[in-house]
Amino acid sequence: MKTLIINGLVVMETRAEAADLLIEHGKISGVLAPGAMTDGVDEIVDAQGLIILPGAIDVHTHFTGSHDFPQQELREGTRGAAAHGVTTIVEMPHSLPPATTLENFTAKQRWLAENCSVDYAMWAGLDGQNLQQLAALDQAGALAFKAFLCSGAASGEATDEKGLPRLDDDGLLRAMRELATFDGLIGVHAENHDILTGAGRELRRAGRKDMRAHAQAGPEIAEIEAVGRVLAVAEETGARCHIVHVSSARAAETIVAAKGRVRASFETCPHYLLLDEEDLVRIGPNARCGPPIRPRPVVNALWQVLLRGDIDIIASDHCPYTPAQKQAGETSIWEAGMGLTGVETLSPMFFSAAHLDRGLPLTEFARMTASGPAKAFQLWGKKGAIAPGFDADLVFYDAQQSWTVEGGKFQGLGKWSAFEGMRCQGKVVRTLIRGVTVYQDDRIQVEPGFGQFVTRQAATGQ
């Protein structure tokens, strides 16, 4: 089938301009001058007045690790992803059981295959015991390997059966040595365990259980120190590393400065750009996440890093806890689920705040939401750009429409948002995945299971 998309403003890797797009067999086969082709196609889609962007790749989602209904969450939550411009998710290893063995990884992959409405890739987990399985997990399709340098338990153990234990320094070194042998990617939650444990212990002893205590339990220095440690090990081993959910501009600057000698990338999240510590206190448990949302000067400095072009990826760190799991923190913040909903707000909130409000070029928006993730996670060539040969994963934005965030209307079970009531300018009106319209006219057009498993082997031909 041949589909021709006409009259849109098409955002490519280096430019945004009026162009027509020809799609064949699920892939972009041509980027044409407007009007260059008018017949010989099966379908013509008129995108007059719309911006056409490459579909967002959200490299940090926790659909299967936040509560006890993972398959329902995948079914409903990935519909929300499609409706808001995310065409590929990379699901974290948290689940029951976690994806740290080949058996667990394969079983989890079946969950995603049966339930996802968007394309999906998968992380495997590093638990300090599974070094001998990493190469096999890579061959099974693990796109990256997640490590935690900290734990909510002082002992360093996982805080629940879905999670991962803290990886100590020896474990980090051994894992990165092993990953380097097959060019595997490690993704690290980088906060210093001892600093977090000490700060949290002191606050609890003082009887603190308010929102400000949560902010004080995750001091910025814990992130800065741990990022430096990961970069040192990456330089020693030659392994590729990715630092997840960077909230600190100083930590970000450390990564940027190391890029000449280390193969490193990093992400930040909309909540670290759109909210500050005073918002955290005002919002309450729905804004509890780790690292915590930072004071306004840190937020402003992080924006400067972004607008300078030095942030690689914007990701959601989507944690769709149920409302009850978040409300548990109303009397003691330590009881609230740690994480925010985000897959349905990732792309549109960033479009509104970065492009429309701050003038971020559309090409930079596409870099951080699509080509940056594709390159860092080795999906480039298949995903991440509007160019011949790439999957036709396209998002149509109407910059004239606006909407208000209402968590109760989210598709997944996490029907709440730290962005509740915020106005968002720009709305996704149509989403295509592999040339198929999956969302249009406020309706999902495909059934669960439409999503395909994406691996770096398939993307790169390895």
Tens place of pLDDT for every residue, the chain, 462 residues?
899 999 999 999 999 999 999 999 999 999 999 999 888 899 999 999 999 999 999 999 999 998 889 999 999 999 999 999 999 999 999 999 999 999 999 999 999 999 999 999 999 999 999 999 999 999 999 999 999 999 999 999 999 999 999 999 999 999 999 999 999 999 999 999 999 999 999 999 999 999 999 999 999 999 999 999 999 999 999 999 999 999 999 999 999 999 999 999 999 999 999 999 999 999 999 999 999 999 999 999 999 999 999 999 999 999 999 999 999 999 999 999 999 999 999 999 999 999 999 999 999 999 999 999 999 999 999 999 999 999 999 999 999 999 999 999 999 999 999 999 999 999 999 999 999 999 998 999 999 999 999 999 888 876
Q: According to the model, what pLDDT value does residue 462 have?
A: 62
Q: HEC string of the chain?
A: CEEEEEEEEEECCCCEEEEEEEEECCEEEEEECCCCCCCCCCEEEECCCCEEEECEEEEEECCCCCCCCHHHHHHHHHHHHHHCCEEEEEECCCCCCCCCCHHHHHHHHHHHHHHCCCEEEEEEECCCCCHHHHHHHHHCCEEEEEEECCCCCCCCCCCCCCCCCECCHHHHHHHHHHHHCCCCEEEEECCCHHHHHHHHHHHHHCCCCCHHHHHHCCCHHHHHHHHHHHHHHHHHHCCEEEECCCCCHHHHHHHHHHCCCCCEEEEECHHHHHCCHHHHHHHCHHHCCCCCCCCHHHHHHHHHHHHCCCCCEECCCECCCCHHHHHCCCCCHHHCCCCECCCCCHHHHHHHHHHHCCCCCHHHHHHHHHHHHHHHCCCECCECCCCCCCECCEEEEEEEEEEECCHHHCCCCCCCCCCCCCEEEEEEEEEEECCEEEEECCEECCCCCCCCECCHHHHHCC
Where do the structural domains in the chain lie, given as residue ranges? 2-52+390-400+422-460, 55-376
Q: According to the model, what pLDDT value does residue 368 have?
A: 99
* 2-52+390-400+422-460: CATH number: 2.30.40.10
Task: Say which CATH topology domain 55-376 has.
Answer: TIM Barrel (3.20.20)
Q: According to the model, what pLDDT value does residue 457 have?
A: 83
